[in-house]
Amino acid sequence: MRTRAAQLVELGRMECVETQVEAPGEGDVLVHSRYASICGSDLHIVYDGIETSPELWAPGYPGHEGIGEVLESRRDGFVPGDLVLSVPDVPEARCFAETQRVRGGSLVRLDGDLPPIDQVLMAQQLGTVIFAMRQHPADVAGATVVVLGQGSAGLFWSFLLKRAGAARVIVADLSPSRLAASAGFGADVLLQPPRDDVASAVQDLTGGQGADYVVEAVGRRDSFLLTPRLVKPGGTVYWFGLPDSKAPIPMDFRMFFRRRLTAHTVYGAQGEAGLVSFRVAVEMIRRREIDVTPLLSHVLPIEDVGKAFDLAQERHEGALKVSLAF
């Protein structure tokens, strides 16, 4: 069987190719993709070469946010025709292929009444944030929190922290369109660098104390280094974004040490037993507890994968979440 797929042919360039479908083995499921979304970590892989090498560049890689129908199943619990959310681990991810082989353990079967499936696809990114918060629970009731970055992950962080009781959510992003969307996801204060000096603004807003809780959801060296300057003594930092550099990132550890800060990172939502966080995300979208439609800014056909990646990377045309359609 032949299929269309996006392929990374050199750093910075994705192309649509025709390729042979990988045959499913025991425990695998063959899925016909309907939509796949581009994640911020995909951009770091494709443009920055982070945590990748040419031997991984199979057709469909590194797509790990997908939704489609089962064509063939060699895994109990799935039958042809089932609608599924695909959440594979990145090294074996093939969601940018029209027909893909997926390990059954990387699928969430979607039953019952659902919103449009392009909305349900957002459960993958939402699930990763839910997973992060479940790994390191924090009591943010009445707290001031800062979220750096208002891409889909940052927007979900803002929403979930506000939902958890944060009194004030301060967000920062370079993109005016992302900041405009963030007000609907719980943000109270919107900062746009370089127009706004984020560190000074946070100090002013907190009476010189700093925020109780700071999330880095960008994955950039400069925003990573900024985080200790934003949090109050004894506060917590969550480094969520995949770094955009393979080089070590130096930091002011003296400041970190003297302020008695706590920092968390997280990885591996796709390996969670039962994929519980993704299932929670699906239910939130199903029950309309969160409106993900503002994220759905651009959907391009798989043939335009190069344009789609450039759009997501450069954030042209008010791009928030860029998806591929098959």
Cross-strand bridge partners of residue 206:
none
pLDDT at position 64 is: 97
Question: How is 172-240 classified by DSSP, letter by letter?
Answer: E-S-HHHHHHHGGGT-SEEE-TTTS-HHHHHHHHTTTS-EEEEEE-S--HHHHHHHHHHEEEEEEEEE-
Q: Decide whether 2-125+272-325 matches 137-265 in CATH topology.
A: no
Binned at pLDDT 50, 70 and 90, residue 246 comes out as: confident
* C-alpha closest to that of 41 among 217, 281, 299: 217
* Among 37-41, 229-233, 248-252, the least confident range: 248-252
Both structure tokens of 206: 């907190």
Cross-strand bridge partners of residue 33:
68
* Level-2 CATH architecture, domain 2-125+272-325: Alpha-Beta Complex (3.90)
* Level-2 CATH architecture, domain 137-265: 3-Layer(aba) Sandwich (3.40)
pLDDT at position 315 is: 83
Region 280-309 average pLDDT: 96
Q: How many CB atoms lie within 10 A of CB 102?
A: 28
Instruction: Tell me if 79 sits within 8 A of 41, measured CB to CB.
Output: no
Domain spans in the chain, listed from the N-terminal domain onward? 2-125+272-325, 137-265
Cross-strand bridge partners of residue 110:
83
Instruction: Tell me if 34 sits within 8 A of 68, measured CB to CB.
Output: yes
pLDDT digits (tens, 9 = 90+) for 298-316: 999 999 999 999 999 998 7
CB neighbour list of residue 110: distance below 8 Å, 6 or more residues apart: 67, 82, 83, 84, 85, 117, 120, 282
